[in-house]
Amino acid sequence: MPTYLDHAATTPIRPEVLIAFTTALSSVGNPSSVHKFGQEVRNHLEAARESLARSTGANRSEIIFTSGGTESDNLAIKGLYWQRSWADAERKVIITAATEHHGVLDPIYWLADNQGAEVEIVPVDSRGVFDLGWLETYLAENAHRVALISLMWINNETGVIAEMQTITALAKKYEIPVHSDAVAAFGHIPIDFASSGLAALSISAHKIGGPVGTGALIVGRSVKLTSLVHGGGQERGMRSGTMDAAGAQAFALAAELALRELPGEAARISALSEVLVGQILRIAPDAVLSRGDANGLAATVHFTFPGCSADSMIFLLDAAGVSVSAGSACTAGVNRPSHVLLAMGRTEDEATGALRITLGYTSTRADVDRFLEAFPSVHSAAKKAGLPSK
């Protein structure tokens, strides 16, 4: 039986969510219509909004439904930048980190290339931890030039967890809005938007057992964004278009289930992760846990294997019926080392040997054992094959 250990790429849709989703898809009516069909769908949509707000510690009016994490990141970053820079021409700086997901980095550099934005990069150490001392100093000297800060809550490749409330507290002194891509965090750690200090937060359904194509951007009630899409003015005028009521209902249910199970699942996943890490180091003593001793998400086990090619290991593991990845699924198939690891100071050769094993609600000890059974021969073969020629 195939073993799936790539939950950070996408998690299988939960059976209860699939039933709710397909049932909702059979409903007829546009949620903006005034007749009874439309209003019935609208009621379901708003119930989902209320539910997701409870799951995220937000006000229902702060939930803006989107198509997923990438759209949410684009709306937050471009929307905040335009709002702030158009109101104050001196505010051109966007602060981010080189370890961010491309859903954050690409819109930021698009703004730099096309809209006059200036990008400042928060340094990270060898574990991927943000240098908040640098951030504090930079803000003290340049806060008047900063439009926004965008830093992810949990890194999608290494699993390192950021000190988000420290970041927002530093920014609050200068009234600078902070956006966080929390796609890798939501459903895995408690998220409370109200106390986070964030202006905007991106989340996605398919990372927690919901359907692909549904996400949300949580936007503070006092925060204004310039919309990317203009039309009917739905979603507080921030995201025009007919709302996906079925997707919203499925997302809300997936969030409810993930949050309900979180305490027990965290302990269960932590135990599985401990076995994985310990046994991988026994099999490959020279392997390096990417985040080192930094605070990290147990569900994400990310190693670099000296002298090995990730492509070789992934191919051999897949042939043995075990599915893992080298990093973000959004850059899979791109023939270059992880930008995250390079930003953490790894050489190209070191970054080439990265493997990401990620656990989720379907993961069992049997899955871990199947990986560990296949891995010794895979590692040995990959070591023998060596790195690809340049």
Pairwise CA distance, residues 62 & 222, whole Å: 9
Q: What is the mean pLDDT of residues 19-35?
A: 94
pLDDT of residue 97: 98
- Binned at pLDDT 50, 70 and 90, residue 317 comes out as very high
pLDDT at 163 over 70: yes
Active site residue 308: no
Q: What is the mean pLDDT of residues 106-110?
A: 98
Domains 3-10+262-382 and 15-256 share a fold: no
Determine the topology of domain 15-256 in CATH. Aspartate Aminotransferase; domain 2 (3.40.640)
Q: What is the mean pLDDT of residues 359-382?
A: 98
Mean of all residue pLDDT scores within the chain: 96
What percent of the chain stands above pLDDT 70? 97
pLDDT of residue 331: 53
pLDDT at 289 over 60: yes
pLDDT at 86 over 60: yes
pLDDT at 329 over 70: no
pLDDT at 110 over 90: yes
The pTM score is 0.95
pLDDT of residue 96: 98
Residue ranges covered by each domain of the chain = 3-10+262-382, 15-256
pLDDT of residue 385: 87
* Architecture label for domain 3-10+262-382: Alpha-Beta Complex (3.90)
Write down the catalytic residue from 18, 121, 262, 330.
330
- Binned at pLDDT 50, 70 and 90, residue 80 comes out as very high
> What would the pLDDT profile of 256-281 be if each residue is shown by its tens digit?
999 999 999 999 999 999 999 999 99
- Binned at pLDDT 50, 70 and 90, residue 388 comes out as confident
pLDDT of residue 336: 76
- Binned at pLDDT 50, 70 and 90, residue 323 comes out as very high
pLDDT at 328 over 80: no
